[in-house]
Amino acid sequence: MNRFDYVRAGTVAEAVQAFGAGARFIAGGTNLIDLMKYDVEKPGRLIDITRLPLDKIEAHGNGLRIGALATNAKVAYDDRVAERYPLLRNAILAGASAQLRNAASTGGNLLQRTRCYYFYDTATACNKREPGSGCPAIGGMNRIHAIFGTSENCIATHPSDMCIALAALEATVQVSGPQGDRSIPFSEFHRLPGDTPETDTNLAPGEIIVAVDLPESRFPQHYTYLKLRDRLSYAFALVSVAAALELDGDTVKTARLALGGVAHKPWRNREAEALLEGKPATRESFQAAADLIVSEAQPQSENGFKIDLARRAIVRGLEQAAAGTPQSLSDKRIQ
């Protein structure tokens, strides 16, 4: 871990002003501190934002505004979230541990970095860590890596569970920065690696997340967060599915589907969602959507199984959502 300056911001404006090259905002620190211990992140300055008044969860139009500093636990156990956005609650509780969720912030969750082995290991090359050094995950240990939207420079995945739900719920990220305030639709918040895998999001330098807005609740009945992993708890997703449906009788009126563990960002395919809409909520419809989604998948040397797993997980997730039987958090049996 390198030496760094530490400043504490009292207001959002102060925080933005304190930002400069090599600075990082720190809230829960559950990922940043790890990365600093690994010398992956070497900030010259840490700007402590934990005193900013951004931890409220409050009504916002017909939706809900979640302050960037609301902890993952606070969001998950908020009654309004549980009632109106149970998909979000379930996604949060499918991740990390109680201790981590008590510390981790909403904004920080959006900024989690990949768990790619090579990214974490400074003895190896990594384009995300050291642009231009190469990507040993390609042709290497990549069973946990991406099958969608990869580039020849990076095949890393985005690790968050919460973000998969936020993508399906079409949240909006409110940010504040040197150029003022702006809103970023969730689907445009994270980015694909392309030629610049070192950049995970479309935040401009110095921009700080202040809130995440949830639109009006539409999926309190038909939803699920189905997470498949290498053990039954406390592991990152190999494939996860956030599925949300509005049904009109047995017909799908609206479908939202986001996948985790398979791409550099929460993966959505609007064509597949459109394909479901107006169709009967049957396994056949779900299979057609799943087939369309995975038709774009590109396997690496060791993660070809994820294509099949994703296809099956999508179908199961949609079945759970349609039946109104979301994946239980305590019973590890998959319904």
> Which residues are near other proteins by CB under 8 A?
1-3, 37, 39, 115, 117-118, 120-121, 123-124, 136, 139-141, 143-144, 228, 230-236, 238, 305, 308-309, 312-313, 316, 332-335
Give me the least distance between CB of 116 and other proteins, in Å please: 9
118-to-30, 93, 151, 197, 324 alpha-carbon distances in Å: 19, 27, 16, 13, 40
Give me the least distance between CB of 309 and other proteins, in Å please: 6
Helices 283-294 and 305-323, packing angle to 10 deg: 150
Give me the least distance between CB of 139 and other proteins, in Å please: 7
Name which of 90 and 176 has its Cβ closer to other proteins.
90
Give me the least distance between CB of 272 and other proteins, in Å please: 19
For 148-203, give the DSSP string.
SS-BTTB------SHHHHHHHTT-EEEEEETTEEEEEEGGGTB---TT-TT--B-P
Give me the least distance between CB of 289 and other proteins, in Å please: 16
165 close to 260: Cβ distance less than 8 angstroms: no
Name which of 222 and 316 has its Cβ closer to other proteins.
316
Name which of 64 and 96 has its Cβ closer to other proteins.
96
Give me the least distance between CB of 291 and other proteins, in Å please: 15
Site of tokens 């920080």: 108
Name which of 43 and 67 has its Cβ closer to other proteins.
43
Half-sphere exposure of 48 (CA within 13 A, CB side): 8
Give me the least distance between CB of 273 and other proteins, in Å please: 22
Give the integer Cα–Cα distance in Å for 60 and 37: 39
Bridge partners for 256 per DSSP: 244
225 close to 241: Cβ distance less than 8 angstroms: yes
Name which of 21 and 123 has its Cβ closer to other proteins.
123
For 89-117, give the DSSP string.
HHHHHTSS-HHHHHH-BHHHHHTPPP--H
Name which of 141 and 292 has its Cβ closer to other proteins.
141
Name which of 228 and 272 has its Cβ closer to other proteins.
228
Residue 37: which of 84, 75, 1 has the closest Cα? 1
